[in-house]
Amino acid sequence: MDNLEKFGLMVFAIALFAAVMGVVLLVVGRARGRSDLVQSLAFVVPAFLMLAVGLLYPAIRTIYQSFFDRRTENFVGLDNYETIVTNPALVTVLQNTFLWVVITPIVATFIGLVYAVLVDRARIEAVAKALIFLPLAISLVGASIIWRFVYEYRPDQANVEQIGIANQVLVWLGFEPHQFLLGWPWNTLFLIVVLIWVQAGFAMTVLSAAIKAIPADITEAARLDGLAGPKMFRYITVPSIRPALIVVLTTITIGTLKVFDIVRTMTGGQFDTSVVANEFYVQSFRQGERGLGSALAVVLFILVIPIVVYNVRQLRKAGEYR
């Protein structure tokens, strides 16, 4: 497909979207004052159709393809799923994904919470929060490129300066420069640092707003009872912002399960750093293993479901409590 065809397809998609919205608004305009049901259906039906075409059908198709071979011609049953849990390379992928999911949400949320508490109502609050929020404004690809330079390695030879700040610090301290992205599992941990750096700003923003929303009478009563410092944080702040903590943890966890950009940009999945989302791309589009790639996508989907369900239940409990 050449550039002209791509441009024509884009124009057609925009025109189709405009036509659908025009029909919806026309139906709603004519039904105004007549039937609330017609007006509701005019908005709900197009949205449902788009969800069905863009989300429901691809999900069902992916599950179907996961039971077939690489060309989706021969039925192989659960062989693709068996390969995922028995192939050493794919087991490493699952282990890496587990490390990402366990470490990233906890550390990023903890850093964001500590930062929100420390700078709350401080004189430099706006500047301090802007600094930690800034990485969130950068795309994950941009953040990955920045950290590739941070981890950049050059052999320790005469007249060779380290351009990576991490290795330059090691040289200043008298150590040998290190290839941070080669040895497993440390290379995975160094990649996780990038996402923590990005997501800590999100955690700080949400939790800071939750802390400021704590009623003043609660904190005043706690101070009168002698609570201060760590005790105030443990017994008042954390319980009061528990719904926000759950939202932050689950949101970062879901984003971590889908992490692709960092791994693809920094290592390409080499050196045993691949995760499920990256491996799905590699198997499906680089190696032509459509069945196995679909199975990996289903595994990713299954991993996300309980997190979403838990989040919804906790939000409902919080709403009932209020």
Band (pLDDT 50/70/90 cuts) for residue 273 is: very high
**Most confident option among 4-13, 31-40, 126-135:** 126-135
Residue-wise pLDDT for 288-303, tens only, equals 888 898 999 999 888 8
Residue-wise pLDDT for 55-108, tens only, equals 888 889 989 988 988 877 788 888 889 999 999 999 999 999 999 999 999 999
Residue-wise pLDDT for 106-141, tens only, equals 999 999 998 888 887 677 778 888 888 888 888 899
Q: How far apart are the C-alpha atoms of 145 and 135, rounded to whole Å?
A: 12
Question: Please, where are the H alpha helices in the chain?
Answer: 3-31, 36-51, 57-65, 79-86, 88-119, 125-133, 140-150, 165-172, 186-212, 216-224, 230-232, 238-240, 242-257, 261-266, 276-281, 290-321
Q: How far is CA 120 from the centre of its chain?
A: 26
Identify the pLDDT of residue 116: 85
Q: How far apart are the C-alpha atoms of 84 and 86, rounded to whole Å?
A: 6
CA-derived radius of gyration, the chain: 25
Contact 135, 194 (CB under 8 A): no
Residue-wise pLDDT for 190-230, tens only, equals 999 999 999 999 999 899 888 888 888 887 887 877 777 77
Closest to 193 in 3D by CA, of 247, 151, 133: 151
Identify the pLDDT of residue 228: 72
Percent of the chain with pLDDT over 90: 23
Identify the pLDDT of residue 156: 66
Q: Which is more confident, 84 or 32?
A: 84
Q: Which is more confident, 183 or 36?
A: 183
Could you say which architecture CATH assigns to the domain 87-140+183-321?
A: Orthogonal Bundle (1.10)
User: What is the mean predicted confidence (pLDDT) over 137-159?
Assistant: 84
pLDDT over 60 at 241, yes or no? yes
**Vertex 20 angle, CA 15 and 23, to 5°:** 125
Residues near 72 by beta carbon (within 8 Å), at least 6 away in sequence? 65, 290, 291, 294
Return the amino acid letter for 270. Answer: Q
Contact 132, 201 (CB under 8 A): yes
Return the amino acid letter for 290. Answer: R
Band (pLDDT 50/70/90 cuts) for residue 17 is: confident
